[in-house]
Chains A and B, each alone.
Chain A
Amino acid sequence: MKFTTTWKRLRLAAASLMTASLLVGATSLSVAAATKLNAEGLIIPQRQNWSFAGVFGRYDRAQLQRGFKVFHDVCSQCHAASHLTFRELSEPGGPEFTKAQVKALAATYKIKDGPNDQGEMFTRPGKPSDPWPWTFPNDESAKSALGAVPPDMSLLAKARTVEYGFPYFLAEGLPFFEDEEQGPDYIYALIKQGYMDPPKGMKVPSGLYYNAVIQGSNHLIKMPSPLAMMFDSAGKPNDPKFYTDGTPITEDQVARDVSAFLMWAAEPKLEQRKRMGFNVLVFLGVFATLLYLVKRKVWAGVHDAPPSV
């Protein structure tokens, strides 16, 4: 008797929770899927498919390596990535370049070090333990060269997000609808979809570009389209053999790869975290079940009859 009522109640609770989360989740997905320009001429970035999404999500090594090439050849010409170190590129859970590759890569950079015995600063080849060097010695020099300080890229994928608003954000925390990939969604949309002709009548000052993903500042961005540096206006790549792993180079591919790479750069421990998390949930599930059985044993009889006095 006791068991059946508990079971009924549990089932009812589970069913209502599932229905609620399905409803909320489905609505949030359909809102996200219907990504057109909204009333204000803005693009709300859509949810993309990422290999690292979900409970069993893992980074795609080849994709991270391609994304790294885009970052290395294009982004890092202007952007800093101060929290990223060379050695992380060979650590488990990332692009997993070999140690030798990383050492060779680091050595191609000149790192300022010192002072030496004569009290002078000197440059030396980079080492795997060095943080990613920036083209500019400081913010001010970047600003004078570029007109603005480009944001540091090492945490960019966590420092950007997409606001779907209430109540959809509730679904983003629920199992099966969880979403911690809004940063890469945003970056992908910004570089792949955002650059477009400004609305009629809008004057874009020189040195600025119209981007429908940018929310504030009149949808203007200082960064010229990075894809325009790699592709001509018809979408033909300047360098068809840009990717060395045989992946065809398309605008979409480049935008996806670099977004995935930036997610890894911001969250290099994601794979460790998800692997451990699954084990922890299984363990806690077993432990909770055992505790529940013990609890029922201990309380057996207490509910149905008064304790014998």
Chain B
Amino acid sequence: MTDMTTAEPTRRDILYIATTAVGIVGAASVIWPLIDQMNPDLTTLALSKTEIDLKPVAPGQNIVVKWQGKPVFVRNRPPKMVEQVRAVPMSELIDPETDQARVQVAQWLIVVGVCTHLGCTPNVGGDYDGWLCPCHGSQYDASGRVRHGPAPLNLLVPKYVFKTPTSVVVG
């Protein structure tokens, strides 16, 4: 119907390519804010640290503290419990890791209480002096290491620092 050939096909092509490229860059940069708005906001990021007072935790006692919306298990381990957990040979572990590598102070075990299987919170219990996950029966020992599947990995150790011997900042 209409015949729109031009004298300079190449210049026209370059112009088309440049315009399309600029358009794609524009569309991509518009999409980013729409995606990034779903990332954790500044309020959430500012609350990413939690301070835990260890004074009221008696030997043998477990406490659960909320950190970044997740439970953190803090256990005051008596020396006997530490000995036992450190005596376990690496060959028995699903995810081999020494207890020494998982704690800063032998007495205090601090782990994120999220089962590495599908994210449930384990309860105190099980056959290993540790935790038993109610969802699918994973078991953890007194070092938070997985001893019975289906969970594949040990309980995560969060970043933390001891401000004083009885006060720890997680995050």
Contacts and interface: CB of A to CB of B under 8 A. Distances in A.
Interface stretch (B14-22, B72-80, B106-114, B143-151): B14-22
Contacts of B89: none
Interface stretch (B2-10, B122-130, B155-163): B2-10
A191 to B, nearest CB: 31
Q: Looking at B15, B18, B19, B56, which has the most chain A CB atoms within 10 Å of its CB? A: B19
Contact of A290 (B2, B6, B12, B18): B18
Contacts of A284: 26
Contacts of B19: 287, 290-291, 293-294
Contacts of B25: 283
A247 interface: no
Interface residues of A, number: 22
Given A129-B43, A283-B25, 9 more contacts: A85-B43, A129-B46, A286-B22, A287-B22, A290-B15, A290-B18, A290-B19, A307-B3, A308-B2
Interface of B: prevailing SS: helix
15 contacts: A85-B43, A87-B42, A117-B56, A128-B46, A283-B22, A283-B25, A283-B26, A283-B29, A284-B26, A287-B26, A290-B18, A290-B19, A293-B15, A293-B19, A300-B4
A294 B3 contact: no
Interface band, chain B: 20 to 34
B18 A301 contact: no
Interface of B: 1-4, 6, 12, 15-16, 18-19, 22-23, 25-26, 29, 42-43, 46-47, 56
Nearest to A279: B29
Contacts of A129: 43, 46-47
B2 A297 contact: no
A298 interface: yes
Contact of A297 (B1, B15, B18, B23): B15
B110 to A, nearest CB: 19
B54 to A, nearest CB: 13
B4 A298 contact: yes
A309 interface: yes
A307 B4 CA distance: 8
A76 to B, nearest CB: 20
Contacts of A283: 22, 25-26, 29
A91 B45 CA distance: 13
Interface in A110-137: 117, 128-129
A301 B25 CA distance: 31
Nearest to B2: A307
A85 B46 contact: yes
A305 to B, nearest CB: 11
B169 to A, nearest CB: 11
Contacts of B43: 85, 129
A308 B129 CA distance: 89
